[in-house]
Amino acid sequence: MGMWLFVLVVVLLFAAALLGYGVVRLSPTGGREWRPEGTPMLPWTLLASTAVLLASSVALHRSLVAVRQGRMLACTRGATAAYWLGVAFVVLQGLAWWTLWQQVRMQDNLYAWTFYFLTALHVFHVLGGLYALGVVAARAQAGQYRRDSHNGIVLCSIYWHSLDAIWLVLYATLWIGSR
């Protein structure tokens, strides 16, 4: 129950952030363009990072299925893969920031500011999830999960899959808003 309440709070935080994004995006900008001419589109690495994050969720789900079937090696491999794919997501997000930062800074316009703010908010939550994924992978490696005792994987999965869903909505919003 506690994890579901936490996920609800995170979802509400992102809903509020996206509502704020919508208000800023649709409001008059005082004579300034939302995305001034010459401002780059979203970096391609965001699409790559989306695929990596989804792959991480699939790996974590496979880990959960494996532990429920008593396949502990597969459980460990899935949890470890989910962790490293999560790390790759953060690296790709950093690359996206670096790519965009070369051309537009946070203070340059609202388009850039909202991109940096929303993606940083998500990465902050992913970093927290990576900590949990690291604990799950280490416990799986140490043989601490069993078919009838794997609550850590369940709770981590709930949070991680929620972050996936949030990212898909966030990425879609950023992509549509950059048009």
pLDDT in tens, 11-61: 888 888 888 877 777 776 655 666 667 777 888 999 999 999 999 999 999
- The domain in which residue 10 lies consists of 2-33+42-177
Domain at 157, CATH number? 1.20.120.80
Task: Give the pTM.
Answer: 0.86
Number of domains making up the chain = 1
For position 34, what pLDDT does the model report?
Answer: 65
Measured distance CA(132)–CA(137) in Å, rounded: 9
Please give the Cα distance from 16 to 125 (Å, whole number).
15
Conformation bin of residue 70: beta by default, left when phi > 0, alpha when psi is -120 to 50: left
